[in-house]
């Protein structure tokens, strides 16, 4: 299971899923991080994904092998030059006349240079291809996830925090990207290096090789000990990084509220505890992992000394040349690194698998109910909407709507009223088919909405929702979202109708003002007006207004009312409002309570009835005021 279960998201959001949470902010990768629950299955899938790059991967392998072989050959050949040089010098000392064979040495140096150049070039090409492959896979993952998000039922997002989804698109895909890039080429080069170097070493001197190999386990043991210790702190560091991130996100996301409740002291105190633990685990893990290299170098150096002594002795006995000793020492030096890399590769694979598993898991989630085989397309939407014994619950055991039946005739203005939590917004969500009904049906012009393509169905509506949604772009584009093809003039016309034009013009950049991410640089009411302008621009067949003007002052509301009445003229509209003044002129008012329609009728009829509606109404207006 994930070691990050207890991080910001899963702690904070309402529906934590065990073992899934990962902070929206990336944490560094610690060795031996998380483990995939199904390592084999995930790897098989990943390899399937890689299958598309078979040829490139084979090429990478060949190039990586060549590059490594060239690099391995280097020291041995260069050793010949040293030997020649040594022989030449010795010859001169002995008073010989042969001198140093500089042409030979020169040639060798040129050859070695060529080999090293080739090796670098190959490793460059290899890295280039491999980065391409892993970036491509990351790209495909992101694309698949993005497409998948659009096919997911909204139910999924009720139970999964945004952070988790976000984390899949960013962290996990990133991890797959980097680790794939690293591990695939590393495993090839490391393996080839180990084998190649061993062969070279044995070919030089088996005695020296055995001695070098004896020292190897010693350094491995020490490294393992250090890794084990540091891993504990790495894990702690990662956990607390999650806590710190989560805390900052929580506190500064709700900065104002936190201040309003005088929560600074408590917040700072909590932050300090997290931060202290993070500090101590971070320095311990860093210190320990920093310790690894010096320790390994020390043991390695002991090895050199031993190998050099043995080499010297062998050279004196004439069984080995000086150049070979030099080459050998170089081989010993290049031997430890690939071994540690190989040891680490299982960790990297675990990380890849863990990240890839989360990505695959998401891609395998159940999708929205498939579209019908033969969707209906309406030439013209007349606007008859009928709810027939609709039953629905977000959780199928807990019905929110029990038995809802109503008919909206074409062009009618239907109001849905009722107390908070009655199920008004839920009805709208069902109408737009964000959720499917559990029983009963919803008909538009006599056709079950499940017989339309979702996009066609949603295309018939424009809606202004309770939660305004604006995005990080200019005001102009935010309004244009209602109808992509609209000209600037159309946008401004719609804004005028929504009575937001005047406000926009007072802004420094007018329609070109960039809204920030949370659109917090405009007021709540202004946001609503902008979304109303968007709906006006969309000019739909059917209109849904859910508390569209709840944050707008009464005077402005009255003014928009006219625009909205004009907009609603001739098209079926659903209006949800708590302020009953806005819906008095509705053709039909559905009064909801606890998931059922308790009363229906026009405003006058309902007042006459003197029931639930009139109770709500008179709680807002003095009884004597007649309409």
Ligand X SMILES: Nc1ncnc2c1ncn2[C@@H]1O[C@H](COP(=O)(O)OP(=O)(O)OP(=O)(O)O)[C@@H](O)[C@H]1O
Residues that bind ligand X in the complex, under the rule CB under 6 A = 158, 394, 400, 418, 420-426, 466
- CB of residue 576 to ligand X, shortest distance in Å: 7
- CB of residue 377 to Mg ion, shortest distance in Å: 31
- CB of residue 424 to Mg ion, shortest distance in Å: 5
CA angle 97, 101, 106 (to 5 degrees): 160
Q: Give CA–CA dist 531/515, Å, rounded.
A: 13
- CB of residue 546 to Mg ion, shortest distance in Å: 6
Question: How many of the chain's residues bind Mg ion (CB under 5 A)?
Answer: 2
Please identify, using beta-carbon distances, which residue of 402 and 425 lies nearer to Mg ion.
Answer: 425
Contact of 74 with 116, CB cutoff 8 Å: yes
Residue whose Cβ sits closest to Mg ion: 425
- CB of residue 158 to ligand X, shortest distance in Å: 4
Binding partner of residue 423 among Mg ion, ligand X, none, CB cut-off 5 to 8 Å per kind: ligand X
Name the pairing type of β-strands 588-593 and 572-576: unpaired
Please list, in sequence order, all residues whose beta carbon lies within 8 angstroms of the beta carbon of residue 422, skipping any fewer than 6 positions away: 592, 593, 594, 595
Please identify, using beta-carbon distances, which residue of 172 and 547 lies nearer to ligand X.
Answer: 547
Q: Give CA–CA dist 339/356, Å, rounded.
A: 26
Please identify, using beta-carbon distances, which residue of 138 and 400 lies nearer to ligand X.
Answer: 400
Q: Give CA–CA dist 420/401, Å, rounded.
A: 14
Binding partner of residue 482 among Mg ion, ligand X, none, CB cut-off 5 to 8 Å per kind: none
- Per-residue contact track with Mg ion, 437 to 466, x per CB under 5 A? -----------------------------x
CA-CA distances (angstroms) from residue 440 to 312, 350, 384, 401, 600? 92, 48, 17, 11, 19
HSE on the CB side for 262, CA within 13 Å? Answer: 0
Binding partner of residue 420 among Mg ion, ligand X, none, CB cut-off 5 to 8 Å per kind: ligand X
Please identify, using beta-carbon distances, which residue of 167 and 426 lies nearer to ligand X.
Answer: 426
- CB of residue 452 to ligand X, shortest distance in Å: 23
- For 602-625, letters b (16+ CB in 10 Å) and e give ebeebbeeeebbbebbeeeeeeee
Please identify, using beta-carbon distances, which residue of 226 and 580 lies nearer to Mg ion.
Answer: 580
Nearest to 546 by CA among 456, 421, 415, 442: 415
Its sign, for the CA torsion 226, 227, 228, 233, is positive
Residues 464-523 within binding reach of Mg ion (CB under 5 A): 466
Please identify, using beta-carbon distances, which residue of 20 and 424 lies nearer to ligand X.
Answer: 424
Binding partner of residue 400 among ligand X, Mg ion, none, CB cut-off 5 to 8 Å per kind: ligand X
Binding partner of residue 492 among ligand X, Mg ion, none, CB cut-off 5 to 8 Å per kind: none
- Per-residue contact track with Mg ion, 395 to 434, x per CB under 5 A? ------------------------------x---------
CA-CA distances (angstroms) from residue 397 to 262, 368, 401? 41, 20, 12
Please identify, using beta-carbon distances, which residue of 286 and 550 lies nearer to Mg ion.
Answer: 550
Nearest to 154 by CA among 434, 423, 424: 434
The reply on whether position 551 binds Mg ion by CB under 5 A is no
The reply on whether position 581 binds Mg ion by CB under 5 A is no
- CB of residue 423 to Mg ion, shortest distance in Å: 8
- CB of residue 238 to ligand X, shortest distance in Å: 32
Is residue 53 helix, strand or coil? coil
Question: Residue numbers of the site for Mg ion (CB under 5 A)?
Answer: 425, 466
């Amino acid at each position: 299971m994930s070691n990050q279960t207890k991080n910001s998201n899963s702690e904070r959001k309402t529906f934590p899923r065990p073992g899934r949470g990962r902070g929206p902010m990336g944490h560094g990768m610690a060795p031996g991080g998380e483990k995939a629950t199904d390592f084999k299955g995930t790897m098989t899938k990943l390899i399937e994904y890689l299958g598309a790059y078979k040829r490139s991967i084979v090429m990478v392998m060949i190039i990586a092998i060549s590059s490594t072989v060239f690099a391995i050959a280097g020291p041995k050949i260069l050793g010949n030059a040293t030997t020649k040089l040594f022989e030449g010098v010795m010859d001169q000392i002995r008073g010989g006349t042969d001198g140093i064979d500089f042409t030979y040495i020169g040639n060798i140096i040129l050859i070695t240079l060529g080999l090293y150049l080739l090796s670098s070039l190959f490793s460059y090409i290899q890295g280039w291809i491999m980065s391409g492959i892993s970036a491509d896979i990351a790209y495909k993952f992101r694309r698949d996830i993005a497409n998948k998000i659009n096919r997911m039922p909204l139910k999924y997002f009720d139970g999964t925090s945004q952070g988790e989804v976000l984390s899949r698109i960013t962290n996990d895909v990133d991890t797959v990207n980097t680790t794939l890039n690293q591990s695939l080429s590393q495993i090839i080069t490391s393996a080839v290096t180990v084998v190649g170097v061993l062969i070279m070493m044995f070919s030089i001197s088996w005695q020296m090789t055995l001695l070098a190999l004896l020292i190897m386990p010693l350094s491995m043991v020490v490294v393992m000990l250090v890794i084990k210790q540091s891993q504990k702190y790495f894990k702690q560091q990662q956990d607390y990084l999650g806590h710190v991130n989560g805390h900052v996100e929580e506190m500064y996301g709700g900065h104002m509220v936190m201040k309003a409740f005088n929560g600074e002291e408590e917040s700072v105190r909590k932050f300090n505890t997290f931060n202290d633990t993070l500090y101590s685990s971070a320095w311990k893990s860093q210190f320990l992992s920093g310790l690894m290299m010096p320790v390994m170098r020390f043991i390695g150096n002991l090895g050199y000394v031993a190998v050099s002594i043995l080499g010297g002795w062998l050279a004196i006995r004439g069984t080995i040349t000086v150049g070979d000793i030099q080459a050998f020492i170089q081989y010993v030096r290049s031997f430890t690194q690939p071994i540690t890399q190989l040891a680490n590769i299982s960790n990297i694979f675990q990380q890849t698998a863990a990240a890839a598993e989360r990505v695959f898991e998401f891609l395998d989630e159940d999708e929205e109910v498939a579209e019908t085989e033969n969707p209906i397309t309406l030439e013209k939407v007349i606007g008859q909407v009928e709810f027939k014994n609709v039953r629905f619950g977000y959780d199928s055991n807990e019905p929110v709507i029990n038995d809802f039946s109503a008919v909206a005739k074409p062009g009618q203005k239907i109001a849905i009223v009722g107390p908070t939590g009655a199920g008004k917004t839920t009805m709208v969500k069902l109408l737009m088919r964000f959720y499917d009904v559990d029983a009963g049906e919803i008909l538009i012009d006599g056709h079950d909405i499940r017989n339309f393509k979702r996009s066609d169905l949603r295309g018939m509506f424009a809606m202004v929702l309770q939660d305004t949604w604006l995005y990080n772009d200019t005001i102009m584009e935010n309004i244009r979202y209602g109808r992509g093809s609209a000209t600037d003039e159309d946008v401004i016309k719609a804004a005028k109708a929504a009575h937001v034009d005047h406000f926009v013009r007072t802004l420094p950049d007018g329609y070109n003002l960039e809204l920030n991410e949370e659109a917090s640089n405009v007021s709540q009411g202004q946001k609503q007006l902008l979304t109303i302008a968007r709906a006006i621009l969309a000019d739909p067949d059917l209109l849904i207004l859910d508390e569209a003007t709840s944050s707008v002052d009464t005077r402005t509301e009255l003014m928009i009312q006219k625009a909205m009445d004009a907009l609603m003229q001739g098209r079926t509209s659903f209006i949800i409002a708590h302020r009953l003044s806005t819906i008095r002129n509705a053709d039909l008012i559905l009064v909801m309570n606890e998931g059922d329609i308790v009363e229906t009728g026009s405003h006058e009829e309902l007042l006459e009835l003197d029931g639930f509606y009139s109770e709500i109404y008179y709680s807002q207006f003095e009884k004597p005021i007649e309409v």
